């Protein structure tokens, strides 16, 4: 059998990512930059058509935002193409080009699987080594992105190659995921309570405060934006049915929706998601 050059151990399993989709954070950042680019482009059209001024700075900002949006989606794909995952006799190693990380198989506390929405046979496998108390309190995580059958890979990592599941999809019932000799002795679901949706920590309260400030900003943008559009029509001589007015309205509306969407996400992350997580099933 081949041996890994890092530790000189026998290689048990080796693969590369099969799903090259960027992570959710990269997709969100990409969408944010694309929206900013569209807003800037709308204002550039207004400046060029209504004021007859060359919108050099605004156009450059639009192109810059569009370039960052494309980079936010494509850079993770390029990064994943160079990835390689190796499971040796005692370690799990990830290679991303010249960079590499490893974790001891025996020191892994637990693992989490994030199934891919586009391909239910693949997903991300996150290996966690937790030191919950003491001066060395920390958490080491190693994530294998876009692997085929992540439940099977996890079985191989924990030394259960003989009973490794086939990894057909991520919606199989619990009874089909048990090891030999393992059985369910108790199962329950927490009864949902209203207080579970209340912010519990400093982070959640901070997100709620920022979301409230964003909602206040949306209210001010609407209150001051509508009279500004009216003044542009009456005093500026910009016809309502003209293309520059439509571009101006589109840019302002998109800016308001962007701030509102960010505020909604922060409230969702601080209130709804943590409350939903508190109602998960324990077995």
pLDDT band at 172 (very low <50, low <70, confident <90, very high): low
- Claim: this prediction has a pTM higher than 0.85: no
Higher pLDDT, 21 or 249: 249
Judge whether 277 lies within some domain.
Answer: yes
Judge whether 4 lies within some domain.
Answer: no
pLDDT band at 282 (very low <50, low <70, confident <90, very high): very low
Judge whether 208 lies within some domain.
Answer: yes
Mode of pairing for the β-strands spanning 110-115 and 99-104 = unpaired
Judge whether 177 lies within some domain.
Answer: no
- Mean pLDDT of all residues belonging to the chain: 82
Please write the tens of the pLDDT for every residue from 187-213.
766 666 666 677 777 888 888 899 999
Judge whether 106 lies within some domain.
Answer: no
pLDDT band at 41 (very low <50, low <70, confident <90, very high): very high
How many structural domains does the chain have?
1
State yes or no: pLDDT of 174 exceeds 60.
Answer: no
Higher pLDDT, 188 or 148: 148
Q: Which domain holds residue 262?
A: 186-283
Judge whether 163 lies within some domain.
Answer: no
Least confident of 44-48, 57-61, 260-264, 267-271: 267-271
pLDDT at residue 140, rounded to an integer: 81
């Amino acid at each position: 059998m081949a041996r890994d050059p890092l530790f000189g151990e026998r290689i048990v399993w080796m693969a590369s990512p099969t799903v090259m989709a960027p992570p959710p954070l990269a997709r969100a950042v990409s969408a944010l930059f694309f929206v900013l680019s569209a807003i800037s482009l709308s204002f550039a059209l207004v400046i060029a058509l209504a004021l007859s001024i060359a919108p050099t700075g605004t156009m450059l900002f639009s192109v810059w935002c569009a370039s960052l949006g494309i980079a936010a989606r494509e850079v993770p794909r390029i990064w994943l193409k160079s990835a390689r995952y190796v499971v040796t006799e005692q370690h799990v190693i990830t290679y991303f080009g010249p960079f590499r990380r490893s974790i001891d198989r025996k020191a892994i506390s637990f693992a989490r699987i994030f199934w891919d929405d586009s391909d239910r046979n693949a997903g991300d496998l996150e290996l966690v080594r937790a030191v919950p108390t003491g001066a060395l309190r920390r958490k080491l995580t190693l994530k294998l992105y876009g692997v085929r059958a992540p439940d099977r890979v996890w079985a191989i990592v924990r030394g259960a190659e003989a009973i490794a599941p086939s990894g057909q999809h991520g919606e199989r019932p619990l009874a089909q995921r048990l090891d030999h000799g393992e059985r369910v002795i108790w199962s329950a679901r927490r009864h949902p309570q209203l207080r579970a949706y209340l912010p519990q920590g400093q982070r959640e309260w901070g997100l709620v405060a920022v979301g409230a400030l964003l909602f206040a900003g949306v209210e001010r943008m609407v209150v001051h934006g509508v009279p500004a559009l009216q003044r542009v029509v009456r005093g500026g001589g910009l016809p309502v049915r003209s293309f520059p007015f439509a571009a101006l309205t589109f840019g302002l509306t998109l800016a308001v929706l962007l701030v509102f969407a960010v505020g909604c996400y922060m409230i969702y992350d601080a209130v709804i998601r943590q409350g939903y997580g508190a109602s998960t099933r324990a077995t």
